[in-house]
Amino acid sequence: MDVQTWTYLIVGLTFALYIGIAIWSRANSTTDFYVASGGVPPLANGLATAADWMSAASFLGMAGLLSFNGYDGSVYLMGWTGGYVLLALLLAPYLRKFGKFTVPDFIGDRYYSNVARTVAVICALLVSFTYVAGQMRGVGLVFSRFLEVPINTGVLIGMVIVLFYAVLGGMKGITYTQVAQYCVLIFAFMVPAIFISIQMTGNPIPQIGMGSDVLGEEISLLDKLDGLSTELGFNAYTEGSRPLIDIFFITAALMVGTAGLPHVIVRFFTVPRVRDARKSAGYALLFIAILYTTAPAIAVFARTNLIETVSGKPYAEMPAWFSKWETTGLIVFDDKNKDGNIQYLANSGSNELTVDADIMVLANPEIANLPNWVIALVAAGGLAAALSTAAGLLLVISTSISHDLIKKQIKPNISDKGELIAARLSAVVAVCVAGYFGINPPDFVAATVALAFGLAAASFFPAIILGIFYKRMNKEGAIAGMVVGILAMLGYMLKFKFDFFGGGGTADWWLGISPEGFGTVAMLLNFIVAIAVASFTKAPPPEIQDMVELIRIPSGAEKAIEH
């Protein structure tokens, strides 16, 4: 069978599985819809959290960034991995003990203010819509190549699928669908990595193969890639060119942004007990590590194969996969010197080949001439990664509107059935907005998602950390900090990503800090403003301070303290 037939078959089977699970686990109440009634076992929640976490940015974008940026791309690997550890150890158990549905719910109650709740809702919507744009873009990429439809059509197809199981099943349906999606995406990620590792180095373990000698050559794969890169005028693959301050700030922004992501945090409200939150965090970290330790190897394999396949070769002799990616507009060949050969060079004036970083994982099996079923499997894995995270984000958006705005502020007496209807209608609107951003994204997948982490770092992280560990933090400080942080991050994004306020290039970045790294600066501003304002305003009421003290006491220790 050809690639397209295999893709229809494998993607069709996985979609049927997801829809079947959504029908089986449909939500019948708001607690089902918001937190799956808090009854998800730790192992299942660990799998679902891993799928929620490993989005199109992890599956498609991260290896693509590493392929083209080499050492400089490692900031995403370090930041996203370290951030999950930070979330699991520092926040998850305390938020689960607090026992609310959402991050805005925690902030609204902890800071005893509907204004704080509203600011948190706005921040959650900004973070989630920025993040979901990357996911819908990833869906469009997969459909455009393997089902041979335009990217915009692919986004629309993804919208319909994710809308079905997100609206029908809520958190309950999403959780069990994400368990299946994790299995699909990790299998799809590992199979081609193992095949190509054997093909290039003879070692079946990609993480070891990456550092092994090339088959039939007395040179390590990384040394060979360094040589290929420098011959074309690029930096050596294993050497970086990004300023150290930017590496530090991007890594920090991704780490603390992780700890403030509402769609990941809400997963820890779905388990029965606080200790289950810790267990599911441990399981998730293990499942995440499988993909994250393999991504650098895939990046090295893909970059080496791409250079050896296209650089200096006649365009007329390019394999079929090249022309098929050309039709999507994600590979572009411009024969500047009219010699019919592809000049792939670092010099932008002489370079004739433009390759979208997001296609590297998808194209890698084709470049390596792997069987058609493997190529189709990778397409299914990319869709699983994008759809699993998109569903979690859409749930955050709909919950923020139906629970934190309508139930908590606009119409407190709304019935459970009415709130469930509002949540589902909110999800429909959210999918439409997400589809628009997927069709018109601000950047490639991983960079778009990195901006969402910056927004989360700038807004939520200080408010949550101070809310748990600083009893003196009051509503005035939290609100001021969140507003200053999110506005600073938005302003920097708009200036350097969207050319607002006169725009500016790389040379104009403040202190050499990129928009992806500015979330750290905005987070520090949030901390400074919040603590300063809290110091000059009235302390929280005693009952709030007692509540903060209580959520920090280990579960089960309250009775011991009473005695």
Strand, helix or coil at 355? Answer: strand
List, for residues 264-316, the tens digit of each pLDDT value: 777 777 777 777 877 888 888 889 889 889 999 999 999 999 999 888 899 99
Which residues lie below 8 Å from residue 293, measured CB to CB, with a gap of 6+?
Answer: 207
Tell me whether residue 459 is in a domain: no
Reply yes or no on whether the pLDDT at 561 is more than 50.
Answer: no
Averaged pLDDT, 232-257: 86
Strand pairing report for 353-355 and 331-333: antiparallel
Most confident of 91-95, 236-240, 389-393: 236-240
In a domain, 491, yes or no: no
- Among 343-357, 427-441, 450-464, the minimum mean pLDDT is found in 427-441
Burial 98-134 (b: 16+ CB within 10 A, else e): bebbbbbbbbbbbbebeebbbbbbbbbbbbbbbbbbb
525: pLDDT confidence band, cut at 50, 70 and 90? very high
User: Considering the entire predicted model, what is its pTM?
Assistant: 0.82
Predicted pLDDT of residue 197: 94
Q: Report percent pLDDT > 70 for the chain.
A: 90
User: Average pLDDT, whole number, for the chain?
Assistant: 82
What local confidence, expressed as pLDDT, does residue 177 receive? 81
| SS3 assignment, position 319 | coil
Position 552 confidence tier, pLDDT thresholds 50, 70, 90: confident
Range of the domain at 124: 3-441
pLDDT for the residue numbered 34: 62
Alpha carbons 353 and 334: distance in angstroms, whole number: 6
- 390 has pLDDT over 90: no
How many structural domains does the chain have? 1
Share of the chain above pLDDT 90, in %: 18
Is 456 within a domain?
no
Q: Is the pLDDT score of 558 beyond 60? A: no
Is residue 559 situated within a structural domain?
Answer: no
Q: What is the pLDDT of residue 101?
A: 64
User: pLDDT class for 202, splitting at 50, 70, 90?
Assistant: very high
166/260: higher pLDDT: 260
CA 207 to chain centre: 22
User: Would the pLDDT of 135 be above 90?
Assistant: no
List the single range of 121-130, 317-326, 389-398, 510-519 with lowest mean pLDDT. 389-398
Q: Please give the pLDDT value at position 532.
A: 96
Q: Pull the structure tokens for residue 378.
A: 């990778």
Domain of residue 49, CATH code: 1.20.1730.10
> Is residue 526 domain-resident?
no
Residue 466 included in any domain: no
H/E stretch holding 333 reads: strand 331-333
Question: Rounded to 5 degrees, what are φ and ψ at 143?
Answer: -65, -40
Of the listed ranges 69-78, 188-197, 524-533, the least confidently predicted one is: 69-78
The C-alpha atoms of residue 270 and residue 175 are separated, in whole angstroms, by: 9
Give Cα 319 to chain centroid, integer Å. 32
| 484: confidence class by pLDDT, cuts 50, 70, 90 | very high
Paired strand residues for 172:
none
Residue 394 lies in a domain: yes
pLDDT tens profile 112-130: 888 998 988 888 888 887 7
Least confidently predicted of 278-287, 430-439, 467-476, 497-506? 497-506
Say which residues have a Cβ less than 8 Å from residue 10's Cβ, sequence separation at least 6. Answer: 373, 376, 377, 379, 380
23-27, 384-388, 439-443: lowest mean pLDDT where? 439-443
Residue 535's pLDDT is what? 94
The predicted-structure confidence for 405-433, as pLDDT tens digits, reads as follows 888 888 888 887 888 788 888 888 888 88
Q: Is the pLDDT of residue 151 over 80?
A: no
| Per-residue H/E/C for 267-291 | HHHCCCCHHHHHHHHHHHHHHHHHH
pLDDT, greater one: 398 or 208:
208
Instruction: Tell me the per-residue pLDDT of 36-47, one tens digit each, with 9 for 90 and over.
Output: 566 778 888 888
What are the residues whose beta carbons fall under 8 Å from the beta carbon of 162, sequence distance 6 or more?
Answer: 387, 390, 391, 394, 431
Asked whether residue 115 is assigned to any structural domain, the reply reads: yes
| Region 460-473 average pLDDT | 91
Give the count of beta carbons closer than 10 Å to the beta carbon of residue 502: 7
Supply the pLDDT for residue 273: 77
Q: What are the structure tokens assigned to 175, written together?
A: 């959780």
- Please state, in angstroms and rounded to a whole number, the distance separating the CA atoms of residues 273 and 39: 9
